[in-house]
Amino acid sequence: MRVTGAIFRSALIAALGGLLFGFDTAVISGTTDQLREVFGLSSKALGFTVASALIGTILGALFSGKPADRFGRRAVLMVLGVLYFVSAVGCAIAWDWWSLVFFRFIGGLGVGGSSVVSPMYIAEISPPAARGRLVAITQFNIVFGILLAFFSNYVIAQLVPGEGAWRWMFGVEAAPAAAFFGLLFLTPRSPRWLVAQGLAGEARAVLQRLGVGAEEIDRMIREIEESIEAERRGLQEPLFQRRYRKPILLAVAIAAFNQLSGINALMYYAPAIFKMAGAGADSALLQTVAVGGTNLVVTLLAMAVIDRFGRRKLMLAGSIGYIVSLSATAWAFYTYGNHFDKAGSMVVLASLLVFIASHAFGQGAVIWVFISEIFPNTVRARGQALGSFTHWFMCALISWTFPVIADVSGGHAFAFYAAMMVLQLLWVIYVMPETKGVPLEEVQKTLGID
């Protein structure tokens, strides 16, 4: 089975869920200062405002699987498009702080659901040989969406000066959300889901629409049926048992370290951080665009070399980059305090560009690949769900606490993140196994899973 135009087009449309994921995640970074002023928020209240979307993300990731199984992947993606639209419009017209928090929570549900359902749908319509590349479009779109959010915030700040800019920053997401919803009508339902519902005839029609040759359709339907039966048997296998202790600990560790780097403190508060380091409002937003651009370029580089260099080498390089860049940022805040000159501001900018490059090359590229490789088939989906829950829970915690810590000292926050990355480096050196090119069965033997 080859990648036909219909398959590529459907994958691209589904991956727009990833673009909205990235956009919705990062767009609040340009609004934090105005939200403080308009709603009179303390540092704790600002942290909760940011974290409210992440609470929705946790719930969306946890509970989107069952609706996707019952109503179909495409139907759930359409609902997620509606959630993104409602969130964007609701935040733009928010009449008080509680309404803003509620609509950010709604957007978070969309983000969490997209993180599960978009790659699921793409994987189920893709030929096995091209599945990794097509699913990777979602990861690329997440990073591209982050860059678009940073760039959009900068442009809106130039076009709409004054207190109303934050409403436009949130509201602009309604356009791509509406486009995502409309374009989904051009995509077919997942053939795998159709077979699971006993609709093999419709699954055959979808495969024909996707350009699959007639001689391949019978074989694919048979393979799908066998895979579904194996998964149903696997559901009887509990995840939390002694034989899976090592992969569970590895998944939780890499997901927790991902956020203990402070990556989402930068994503959600980048303009505020650059202002703390002496940048003007426009300059801070422009520097944030540079962060997003670096993230995109290095993500593409990492995706190109991860199967050549291996997971551990990327994590080692990323960990060292984390430690150097975060330590330099902490030093700058301890040295300059609230009185940054141009040299100090440049140290922070350069350090945070190295930081985002280190993340994109290491953790950003490795985390989901590694987690998918360390669990056996029977519990892989639940293992990935555990990693996702840990990731988003820690993300909410870091996002909530950063403004509070930074009010005391920006140096304290970045010094803490640097210390955590020293622990990550030790974990990579002494604990993390290499999974590059290793058959999944051998990975399981290495981890003591018989």
Domains 1-187 and 241-450 are alike in CATH topology: yes
Q: Find the Cα–Cα–Cα–Cα dihedral 10, 11, 12, 14, rounded to 10°.
A: 90
The pLDDT, as a whole number, for residue 171 is 96
Name the stretches of the chain with pLDDT < 50.
none
The pLDDT, as a whole number, for residue 250 is 94
241-450 homologous superfamily: MFS general substrate transporter like domains (1.20.1250.20)
Backbone angles phi, psi at 341, to 5 degrees: -100, -175
Task: Delimit the domains of the chain by residue range.
Answer: 1-187, 241-450
**How many helices (H) and strands (E) in the chain?**
21, 0
Asked whether the beta carbons of 29 and 153 are under 8 A apart, the reply is: yes
The pLDDT, as a whole number, for residue 1 is 54
Of the candidates 259, 252, 250, 270, which has an alpha carbon nearest to the alpha carbon of residue 416? 259
The pLDDT, as a whole number, for residue 197 is 86
Helix (H) or strand (E) holding 7: helix 5-26
**102-149 pLDDT, tens digit each:** 999 999 999 988 888 888 888 788 776 666 677 778 878 888 999 999
For the domain 1-187, what is the CATH code? 1.20.1250.20
The pLDDT, as a whole number, for residue 164 is 86
**347-395 pLDDT, tens digit each:** 999 999 999 999 999 998 888 888 878 887 677 777 878 888 899 899 9
Asked whether the beta carbons of 299 and 137 are under 8 A apart, the reply is: no
Count of alpha carbons within 13 Å of 67, Cβ hemisphere only?
17
pTM: 0.86
The pLDDT, as a whole number, for residue 417 is 97
The pLDDT, as a whole number, for residue 120 is 82
